[in-house]
Amino acid sequence: MPQLLFFGPLADITRCKKTKITGVKSTKELMDCLYNDFPELLQRKFKIAVNEKLVNQNTKLSESDVVALLPPFAGG
Amino acid sequence: MYITKGKITQKFLTLTFKKTLKFKKAGYPGAICTFSGIVRDDKDKSGKKINYIEYKCYGSMAKTKMKEIYSAVKKKYAPDYLVMVHGTGKIKAGETSLFILVASQHSKQGLNAVKEIVKLIKTTVPIWKKEVFADGSYRWVE
């Protein structure tokens, strides 16, 4: 099952940094699930990375994928 | 080294400068350009004093992105020597969170490279910072 990572303020909303998620086959299904569980995410800006690559469109997920929700970067 | 735990130490900075000054690949570099990102002794909008900044990152992706920046800058500017390190974890006011050094034959080449690296790090490397106040409360910088 895909692994899911949350960073920065998003981890505060979900109250976890890492979890596994069952029953989703794409990033769209994943986000529908997350928006349902954590409606506050709808107010936040973030990017989605699958296996460390940013994705802009709905992406098919496999069992070994690592999906990360990345809020706006603030390094420096 | 691209990402380090904690602040970037004075010892690291000193050793890096010493190493750079001895670098003779293409004769001595004509320019050594650096950027140090220092945590400010700051307050938030309501006047609360920031105790320290805590940098968090997506470790593996951050390293990959830093490597990509390193390679792209090497290719574009062909510096004699390039160092770029970002600190993570708790970093206090006055301490260094980001250090970039570009040794090149000419100043324009070095200065442009440093400017581009700072911009790329801020926009493409998954690093986040949390301002932590004296009372333990915090605010993510977005």
pLDDT digits (tens, 9 = 90+) for B125-136: 999 999 999 889
**Domains of chain B from N-terminus onward:** 3-141 (3.90.1170.40)
List the single range of B26-40, B48-62, B65-79, B119-133 with lowest mean pLDDT: B26-40
Q: What is the pLDDT of residue B23?
A: 74
Asked if the structure places residue A25 within a domain, the reply is yes
Q: Is residue A75 part of a domain?
A: no
Domain holding A25: CATH number? 3.10.20.30
Q: Which residues of B touch A8 (CB under 8 A)?
A: 56, 128, 130, 140
**Domain residue limits at A46:** 3-70
**pLDDT value for B45:** 80
Q: Does A45 touch chain B (CB under 8 A)?
A: yes
Helices (H), chain B: 10-21, 59-77, 107-124
Q: Which tens digits make up the pLDDT trace of B78-94?
A: 999 999 999 999 999 99
> Over the stretch B52-62, which tens digit does the pLDDT of each residue have?
999 999 999 99
Task: Answer whether residue B24 shows pLDDT above 80.
Answer: no
How many separate domains does chain A show?
A: 1
How does A36-73 read in b/e, with b if 16+ C-beta sit within 10 Å? eeeeebeeeebebbbeeeeeeeebebeeebbbbbbbeb
Those residues with Cβ within 8 angstroms of residue B82's Cβ, 6 or more apart along the chain or in another chain: B70, B73, B74, B101, B102, B103, B113
Task: Please tell me which residue of chain A has the smallest CA distance to B122.
Answer: A75
Work out the percent of chain B whose per-residue pLDDT is above 70: 98
Q: What is the pLDDT of residues B105-124, one digit of tens each?
A: 999 999 999 999 999 999 99
User: Which pLDDT does position B100 carry in this prediction?
Assistant: 98
Chain pair A-B, CB pairs under 8 angstroms: 61
Q: Which residues of A touch B59 (CB under 8 A)?
A: none
- The reply to whether A76 falls in a domain is no
**Residue A25 and residue A4: Cα distance in Å, rounded?**
13
What are the pLDDT digits (tens) for B99-109? 999 999 999 99
pLDDT digits (tens, 9 = 90+) for A11-69: 999 999 999 988 899 999 999 999 999 999 999 999 999 999 999 999 999 999 999 99
Q: Could you tell me the pLDDT band of residue B76, with boundaries at 50, 70 and 90?
A: very high
Torsion of CA B10, B19, B6, B68, to 10 degrees: 150
The complex's ipTM works out to 0.93
Average pLDDT of the residues of chain B: 93
Which residues in chain B have Cβ-Cβ distances shorter than 8 Å to A75? 55, 57, 86, 98, 121-122, 125, 127-129
Flag whether pLDDT at B25 surpasses 70. no
